[in-house]
Every structure is written in structure tokens, then in C-alpha cells.
Amino acid sequence: MNRVKYLTKDLLVKLNSKALRGKLNRSLKNLGKLHSNSWFPVVGKFICDDRIIRCRIALAADENGIDQTAHLDMTIEDFDSLPVTNIS
């Protein structure tokens, strides 16, 4: 079984605000359009420096069915504390 980190909309908004306040390089816009009860999985990541990790987050499919993703920078501590779910 694989484990996947994810963000709820509330957590995504919170960490995005933190990225904006911290003037990190990647943050998101138009989060109000996202569904409140959805989970947004982290589908990729890499460490930018000794304290920041850049996450690629799956948001939703567009009207053509093409998956949309975005990048969000966060501290390594925030990344480590993200919730996790098991997938098969």
C-alpha cells in the first residue's frame, strides 16, 4: 500500500497564506474556486534549500478533463506535518 500526503482546502489556504507572508517563491491564486470537501494530493516534491520544500499539488481536472496542478512552497516542518492517507 502507498501512502500519499494531501491538503484539505482549509490547510491549503493556511499554508498558502504562510507562503505569501514569508515571500516564498511559489504560492497560489483563486483558491476560492476549489471545493471545500476535497483533498488535494501532493504528487511531487523537491527540496529547494535547507528549510523549504516545493510541492506539486493536484487541484482538479479542467473542463476538458485535464488534470491541473500547482506548486506551493512550504517549510519542511509543515510538509512533514501534512496528513497522510493510504492508497492501493
Q: State the average pLDDT over residues 10-36.
A: 92
Look at residue 1 and tell me whether its pLDDT is greater than 80: no
pLDDT of 43-58, one tens digit each?
Answer: 999 999 999 999 999 9
At residue 11, what are phi and psi to the nearest 5 degrees? -70, -40
Neighbours of 58 (CB within 10 A): 19
Look at residue 31 and tell me whether its pLDDT is greater than 80: yes
Q: Are 31 and 25 in contact (CB under 8 A)?
A: no
Query: Sorting pLDDT into bands at 50, 70 and 90, what band is 7?
Result: very high
pLDDT of 48-87, one tens digit each?
Answer: 999 999 999 999 877 787 788 999 999 999 999 999 999 8
At residue 48, what are phi and psi to the nearest 5 degrees? -85, -40
pTM of the model: 0.89
